[in-house]
Structure 1
Amino acid sequence: MASDQGNNQSVERAASVLGVFLDGHPELRVTDVVKATGLGTSTTSRLLTTLESLEFVERDALSGLYRLGSATITLGGVAVNQHPVHREARQLAQELAARLGLGVNVAVRRGTSLFYLLNFEGRLAPRSTVLTGQRKPLHATGLGKCLLLGLGPAERRELLPEETLHGFTPRTLTSHTRLDAELDEVHRRGYATEVEELAHGRSCVAAPVRSRSGEIVAAVSISGPLSTVALDSREEELARAVVEAADSISVGLGYVGPLGNAPHTLEGTRS
């Protein structure tokens, strides 16, 4: 039993060391890892040396700084390729991004956040970083709104207490009353929009993806700079495209619509 506890502790410590590299600091000194984890210097150095030998981290020969290694890329690639939503969505999302010239993203819910499974960039919506693997707030994104449709009002309040509905811009929905009203509208029309709710100058349209049982298991969005997405003139076009994409992915997952009917189609959009 003592041996098992020691092994578990070692795994937890190694995981905490790797977790430090996920906080936006790609290269770290040993002292940085010590400060972030609270582990001793000798323990941290030993863990980093072991992780380096396994290629989970690598150390720059000149600076001595550590960064994530190739083994983490391999694990991430295998994990995402094995995900059923990723398998169904990847080619469709890539083709849609190329056709529209905008970003196309697919995400699932992980706890209180959305988790990006994949993203492709069109020529009109380039990004300097890859979104895959990143987490974003549910209440401030079109993807998140679609994922929240799978929960009732009471469940949403339990998952996201109102004090956690942080405002990122003046447009962010920071109360459950406003969020409930927005989600009622999303449910009615079959897609969500987001205009500068998470970041200035960005907007998107998104639609939910359902599994064989009808449960909302993911969401897909079309996104880009505010002027390029241009929802004031393109909302109907983009809403139809994202709903059709979500329905295609849902069909691939085995969804055949309520009571065995075909998946829903877009009935109408706002002017």
Structure 2
Amino acid sequence: MAYIQSNEGVVERRETESGALARGLNILSRLHEAARPLSLQEIAESVALPASTCHRLLQSLDQAGYVYKEGQLYGPTPRAACPLPLEHPLNRLRRDTTLLMRELQERHGPSVLLIAFLGNHRVTVDCVAGNYSVAPYFDTNVSAPLHASVSGKILLSDRTPEQRDGLLGPAPFAARTELTVRDRATLYAELDEVRRRGWATNTNENVIGICAVGTRLSTPSGRALGAIVLTGPSRYFVDGTEAMQTDLMKSAQLLNSTSHAVRAMSQFLGL
């Protein structure tokens, strides 16, 4: 914050450009999370800002085309809600993968996720919910620990030991369950095997009762750009994991060899 003297002699706070940007992005995040238009007071309370500051930021977002006002309510414009063009590589990858994901879900039962790697970040590009009573919740931002999730293991398998150390920190790694691999040597040996065979598993390592298996999507140069993951209650994985692995590998090979979106993603990621 910078401080200036007003005409009345009162010191007022003015946001720096970086501070205003961070607060504006936070407001957009709250509007997306709410999934409905919000009043000024609701937005101000959700981002812990004075209503006057929030109103000023909303005006700036409105002028920039990211927020609209209808009556006393604010919502994100199409520019903010759907920022990617239809032909963006992520949207093309989603379209190319939709049919394969539905077939995998119908054949095996668990939910199917399409996850892309943006640097060291993981994003859920699409999902097909599984055939079970508990509705799964999948966020756009994948936050499951790298060492205790299928997508995390596939991402780590594409990194050098030094890069893995930087992402994971010192061992022993945090335990999510009693089955989480915490030893560095054991985990890194598994990651090397994941890189060799092209698929990874998670057997109650992140949440007890939830398992997963997934395969990597690769660029033409062999770098990992994402993963297709089957995940759900453990009962689906008692006898079906091997068949899942086979079908996942076939799906990934088909995409890697025929999808123009995979090539577009490679260029988008600079891999």
TM-score by shorter chain over 0.5: yes
Are 1:169 and 2:177 counterparts? yes
TM (norm. structure 1) is: 0.72
Unaligned runs of 5+ in 2: 1-14, 264-271
1:174 and 1:21 mapped to 2: Cα distance?
38
Residue 8 of structure 1 and its aligned partner are, at CA, apart by: 6.4
Question: Contact 1:93–1:104 at 8 Å: present in 2 too?
Answer: yes
Q: Distance in 1 between matches of 2:163 and 2:256?
A: 24
What is the aligned length?
243
For residue 247 of structure 2, what is the amino acid of its counterpart?
Answer: A
User: What CA distance in whole angstroms lies between the structure 2 residues aligned with 1:226 and 1:77?
Assistant: 38
Task: State the percentage of identical aligned residues.
Answer: 23
2:251 aligned partner: 245
The answer for unaligned runs of 5 or more in structure 1 is 257-271
The equivalent residue for 1:233 is 239
Does the residue aligned with 1:93 lie in a helix, a strand or coil? helix
Say whether 1:202 aligns with 2:207.
no
Indicate whether 1:75 and 2:83 are aligned: yes
Q: Which residue of the partner structure matches residue 114 of structure 2?
A: 106
- CA-CA distance at 1:45 after TM superposition: 2.5
**Partner Cα distance (2:130, 2:228) in 1:** 15
Structure 1 residue 160 displacement after superposition: 2.5
Which of these two proteins has the greater Rg computed from alpha carbons?
A: 2
**Structure 1 residues 34, 184: closer, same or farther in 2, change over 3 A?**
closer
Matched, 1:140 2:148: yes
Q: Residues 1-271 of structure 1 correspond to what in structure 2 (within 5 A)?
A: 10-20=20-30, 29-35=42-48, 40-48=50-58, 51=61, 56=67, 69=76, 71=78, 72-75=80-83, 78=86, 82-124=90-132, 127-162=135-170, 165-227=173-235, 229-230=236-237, 232-253=238-259
- For the residue of structure 1 that corresponds to 2:147, the secondary structure is coil
Shift of 1:138: 1.9
What is the Cα-based RMSD across aligned positions, in Å? 3.7
Kept in 2, the 8 Å contact 1:106–1:118? The answer is yes
1:120 to partner: Cα distance: 0.7
Distance 1:145 1:155 in 2: 13
- CA–CA distance in 1 between the matches of 2:26 and 2:117? 22
> What is the TM-score of this pair, normalised by structure 2?
0.72
